Amino acid sequence: MVENLKVTRYQNGDLLPNVTDTTEWCHLPTGAYCNYNNDIKNAPTYGRLYNWFAVTDSRNIAPKGWHVPTYREIEIMIAFLGGDTLAAGKLKEQGTSHWLYPNTGATNESGFTSLPGGYRYNREGTFHTLGSNGYWWTTTQSIELYTWSKRIFWYFAHADYNHNLKTLGFSVRCVRD
């Protein structure tokens, strides 16, 4: 996909809860989404932030014909684009309309047009790094409470993997089936 996911329903039509309350967000054992800073004006540009439970729910948040990538699928894409040091720049939107200056290495050669949608913290339900970092879920679990995600920074032309708690709120990019 060329933009971050913005769905509010699972593929079967069930409503995906929009959780704005910070305490509720921190303790969710089920799928949910939010808009950065709980402000719907952020959704058209940056998409929505989802917890991992929404990403892996059997009702599927990906549109028909698409799926949320696995860790391995992201690895393949990053390798194809030249590895972690080169790939981030090839994935990032050029310029500083959405990314903070200097948006190092951004060429968007891939057409991925990654945007720095930030994240929602799982302990306080607070929002961080809009404009500077982009985080995207994979469906691959790393250990019981953690899963793999991909992160791109404004200041480096580097993409790295993190394993994060499933209760964080990250962006989602889907790949075609």
What's the token pair of residue 165?
């708690």
- CA distance linking residue 60 with residue 79, whole number of Å: 27
Would you call the peptide bond into 63 cis, given omega within 30 degrees of 0 as the criterion?
Answer: no
- CA distance linking residue 132 with residue 86, whole number of Å: 18
- Whose CA is closest to 91, among 44, 162, 156, 43? 156
Report phi then psi at 52, rounded to 5: -65, -25
Beta carbons of 125 and 20 less than 8 angstroms apart: no
pTM reported for the whole predicted model = 0.92
Q: Per-residue pLDDT for the chain (177 aa), expressed as one digit of tens each?
A: 789 999 999 999 999 999 999 999 989 999 999 999 999 999 999 999 999 999 999 999 999 999 999 988 988 988 999 887 788 889 999 999 999 999 988 999 999 999 999 999 988 889 999 999 888 988 988 766 556 566 666 655 657 666 677 889 999 999 999
